[in-house]
Structure 1
């Protein structure tokens, strides 16, 4: 009976998290959200390979492909070391994720010039990974709360490469009761986004707070 209740809870949460889009968009984009609880099923090597293959074919300025990743599974020493680089808040829930990743980028081109678009390309690659993951019922929770300097040292990141973010990864599911009451409220809160009028300006930049 309890398993059935958890399954129904999982389905209802997934339905509640579907974006209330102002315009019709691709279904996988509407369904995507960033959970803090995951199913405890181990993510297979094959599924991880598929996610990184989606990254591999992402758009990239001059085809430089500056993205880099470190990943580890729960229960390994590397995973624990990654957890040790997260903020206290992220540690409180991400330590239970099946997989953790650190994202990084190569700062310069091979000719020594700064690659101004490296972060842009890393972001594009993560967008590709996120959509591929959603297609596979895998959830990604991207985290800014990582001590990148500690991570650089802990994992011997070579000079010229920069840790950017962390990602908690696992199949959608899990049990909400495993989270604190505060996190449960965040997990079930209504999703909100600013309107297009505040970031898309026709014919030139316009302060979103100004009236036409």
Structure 2
């Protein structure tokens, strides 16, 4: 199944064709492929080149995968178990002087943007999740307090069997992709709340 975006400008196919399935093909994901994704992320820009990102990964069938899976919320556990790899994504909250790094979450987003583009280039699908118990994850993986686990990501190839999903999620999986119009969030001048909330 493909779900190409209907864009208003010509953009890269790695962006138009990318979407976030909840069911994945059965082809295995190995460490070499994950390393390619992480290498793409490694070269993302970051404030002061601090590279504050943190990734904890596990491949299906391993203890690490199961440990990550156990940190997901119940809803995400209902579908994420058909992925071939799981990762936890976090960031270091402070700079080397111990002061708050206000840009660390932004930098993690840039890291995952690179990972996402590289994955799409390889025909690999990602589904990023906010539904993760970050406190449980930090305790489970001995992550220090000056870090924060922000998200989890399910990884696998496109082409999964919809029948493996609960019925309500099968409908979600086939819905047309949509986004807010640019005019609701880009302003050549003053911010307009009415436009933003459309």
TM range (shorter): over 0.9
Larger Rg over CA atoms:
1
What is the alpha-carbon distance in structure 2 between the residues aligned to residue 94 and residue 174 of structure 1? 12
Structure 1 stretch displaced more, 78-87 or 159-168: 78-87
Secondary structure of the 2:101 match is coil
Runs of 5+ consecutive residues of structure 1 not aligned to the other structure? 1-12
- Report the CA distance between 1:84 and its aligned residue: 1.2
- Report the CA distance between 1:79 and its aligned residue: 1.4
- Report the CA distance between 1:82 and its aligned residue: 1.2
- Report the CA distance between 1:163 and its aligned residue: 0.5
Secondary structure of the 2:27 match is coil
Aligned equivalent of 1:71, options 42, 57, 60: 57
Runs of 5+ consecutive residues of structure 2 not aligned to the other structure? none
Residue 205 of structure 1 corresponds to which residue in structure 2? 191
Deviations 1:16-56 (A, max 9, x none): x1001111111110000000011111112221111011011
Structure 1 stretch displaced more, 129-138 or 45-54: 45-54
Residue 5 of structure 1 corresponds to which residue in structure 2? none
What is the alpha-carbon distance in structure 2 between the residues aligned to residue 74 and residue 50 of structure 1? 18
2:185 pairs with 1:196: no
What is the alpha-carbon distance in structure 2 between the residues aligned to residue 144 and residue 21 of structure 1? 26
- Report the CA distance between 1:76 and its aligned residue: 1.5
Q: CA RMSD in A?
A: 1.1
Structure 1 stretch displaced more, 79-88 or 133-142: 79-88
Preserved contact between residue 90 and residue 149 of structure 2 (Cα < 8 Å): yes
- Report the CA distance between 1:59 and its aligned residue: 0.6
Normalised TM-score (structure 1)? 0.90
Q: Which runs of 4+ in 1 moved over 3 A?
A: none
Normalised TM-score (structure 2)? 0.96
Residue 98 of structure 2 corresponds to which residue in structure 1? 112
Structure 1 stretch displaced more, 93-102 or 172-181: 172-181
2:121 pairs with 1:135: yes
What is the alpha-carbon distance in structure 2 between the residues aligned to residue 157 and residue 186 of structure 1? 34
